[in-house]
Structure 1
Amino acid sequence: MASEHLEHKLALLPDKPGCYLMKNINDQIIYVGKAKNLKNRVRSYFKSSHTGKVAKMVSEVADFETIVTSTNKESFLLEITLIQKHQPYFNIKLKKGTGYPYIKITNERDPQIKIVSKIKKDGGYYFGPYPNVYAAEETMHFIQKVYPLRRCNGYQGRPCLYYHMGQCLGACFKEVPKSDYEEQIKKIKSFLSGNTATVKRQLTKKMQLAAENMEFERAAEIRDQLHYIEVTVEKQKIISNDKTPRDLFNFYMDKGWLSIQIFFIRQARLMKREKRLFPIVDTAVEEMTSFILQFYNRRNNILPREILLPKGLPNKEISEILGVPVRTPVRGEKRDLLAMAHENAQLSLDEKFRLLEMDQSKTTGAMKEITDALGLPEGHRIEAFDHSHIQGADPVSAMVVFINGEPAKNFYRKYKLKTVINHADEAASTREVIRRRYSRLLKENKPMPDMIFMDGGEIQMDAAKDILENELGLDIPVVGMVKNDKHQTADLLFGDDDHHIDLNPRSQGFYLVQRIQDEVHRFAITFHRRVHTKHSLSSRLDEIKGVGPRTRTKLLKKYGSITKIAQASVDEIHSLGINRPTAQLIKVSLQKNAEVAKGSSHD
């Protein structure tokens, strides 16, 4: 099930193509994917059941980010760039430099055309990368038939099979003139550069003729060839022939906030995207200009060969300061990339506003829902209590504080109970902790909370109200947080007769009660474990003859645990100022206990 944060972000996803980056709790990118429709694709991860690797990936997602593209094909190409850059754990692991394939014409005396996974500086001609691997392979096969080069392994004294099929110029048995290869390579380069009209017309005629002759399988093959050509050589916006290193900036401003997108274009590919969101006090032009100049100054970013900016910015001044050309494209591919950055900037800011609204609804809005349900004036501060013990041993209490619906951890408090020893007494535990907490606030003249939440039923509520009203003279509403038989938040208890107050389980008020109940329980349990562990260590050491409070303190301060004390040598224990006979007894006793524990674990 998606977290509340993810649910909010899922509701804001656009119905557009693009890439999504899944992140874990440490903000590491663990998966990169592409989608024709980001909203449908990303939501499918959290709205459907999954198994295996997908289930594991979804379980680790704590956040996600999206990049909108103009077409689905652009998302294909951007995806592989992001995968190669971030190497996400859950993506298919590729060898360094691999990804979507390229079509290559080799730099040899008898050149070949082949599919390769990366570009090398070997003098060959490279085309791509191609997001549809199968289409790239089929297009290469088509080229081998229409514009043959060498398809065999080289000279072997006789024509190869491909020569007889018209797919090899004959390097297998003769010397092919360089001019023949040059002519074919010229045609291939023209074809792969997008000049496909002539070939497509010829194929279309062949397909129509095959269909007229009722050769439907042949017609289908030609139809597929046409499709592969369209897919493979279709012009891309993110991939171009111009390989000038560029940085592209665009922005969107609304309600006093500025959203900036930076695209880093290297080797004709969108290699990286960064975004910034912040409130501004000046005009968008002034803030944007200042941001660009600081971007290269503070971060020591390497300046590109060219910077692309939207219209309205002081390009001339920025160019003079940075020492690189600054331009505003008015047509073509660069203008389209600028528009794409603007769209992403707007989407980022829209998402920010929606999340701010949702954050407000789950904090101050949730507080109002609770006070409205209880019939109380609007409040801001809740203090919640819970107790913890193991069969009455080492009883403790813990208090958490929520202000305007958010945890205020600086005000959390822990209490070792003094009046309840070696037995469980919810009422006595509650009386003690309420008395200690609020008598101190009275003594120090500090403000009281608007509400007190008890993680329990009527026993704790009545005990708390008794101390507050009859002993301390305080009028603070006391609310009980009730759990169902599955130990999940159910409803609230409130009023003179402790009647049940139902909250809509899908409301923000209910979610806030749930967070408070989970947090105070977690805090109490964690504190109790620490106290109980320390007490258990002390008890085991106290059982050893000759070990008193001072010796016990020395050992625990030095080693911290029974296991580490047992691993220490007699000399090491003796070096702490403990006499040798006692050090030997400690060593023997703890080793014996460890052996007994180990033996019982195998029973």
Structure 2
Amino acid sequence: MDIKEKIGLFPDSPGVYLMKDSSGRIIYIGKALSLRKRVSSYLARELSAKTSRLMANVVDIEYRATATESMALLLEASLIKEHKPKYNVSLRDDKSFPLVKITNEEFPAIYVTRKREDDGAQYFGPYISAGLLREALKIIRRNFPYRSCSTLPKKACMYYRIKLSPAPCIGKISKSDYAETIKQISLILEGKNEELVKELSREMRQKAKERKFEEAALLRDKMIALNTFRPSLYNAEAALNELREVLRLPVMPRRIEAFDVSNILGRQATASMVSFYNGLADKDNYRRFRIKTVKQSDDYKMMAEAVHRRYLRLKEENLPLPDLILVDGGRGQLCAAKKELEGLGLVISIVSLAKREEEIYTLFIPRPIRLKNNSPALRLLQCIRDESHRFALKYHRLLRKKRFLNEEKSG
């Protein structure tokens, strides 16, 4: 496949592109709001002398998709720092670009600056856009609250009231807990989201074992937030080809539908279904279900209800079926969903993905499949599974909020 054909498969979404020379060395890294449009512009006839020199040395281009352009900005900076590409000279050398500063204090503050000082603080960057950088920090702060004031005040500020600061000024967070938050933010700024997800997952399991369910839920929410803006490291076409081969699918899995359930001890139980086409989210075809027939906490029955309702409707309306169904969980969830398909007389390929060890369960072999962490197929399944979980949780929270408001009115 030549570069032009490869670029044609790039998504029309934000991300970072990496240009390589004949030796496989990365010589330029850039970010884009639309990967396909931005990278296609390098094929134009009229290029500047500098860009022409660059393209004369490019033999391959890869991409890493992100949820937003602002998160692409963070990824771009961390990759440039790691690889030091030959043609990214301006970002490496220019002293006027914005930085993120984490101050050297008992409770460090985080803010944007253009001046690097010898003051013991941590600095991240430089970044090419102050506006996008501030947008990225807002996204991070919503899930990892931190202080941004120049000096600690004597009383809590507005940011505490809107849950963007943990208020160390009035002792609302311990030094050790705040230090952990700063460590997590540093990992995000370094582009080490995968490492952070693993750390949060370990902590969440430990809190659950200790029956500290509220703390475990907070860690879970952080993981979900991370999954919405961590870089997607897969090439869609490569992922789909690998999926077809590994799962022995009869057709290329162009359309994949994924299910997840969300509930607290059976209350306000919901399920979500997300749809991906050619490896990209197709949000117009997302669906959500309020569980009606299951009153107790039973993930298998809840999954079965959602699958039954979805495909009964497709069957009755004679609508196209997906090439592959993905359910969140292990063999139990897989068998529950498969039973519903059989009851409807439908033959659709179906697998499940268990979160703890990222094992893939199928119906054709008794043992789960384990793919390498850098497998494009596994990356795609993880991306779809995480999106279905996010979507289910969002609906679950909406119902909980409505119930709370109704109880307040009736009270």
TM-score (norm 2): 0.48
Larger radius of gyration: 1
Q: Identify the structure with bigger relative contact order (alpha carbons < 8 Å, sequence gap 6+).
A: 2
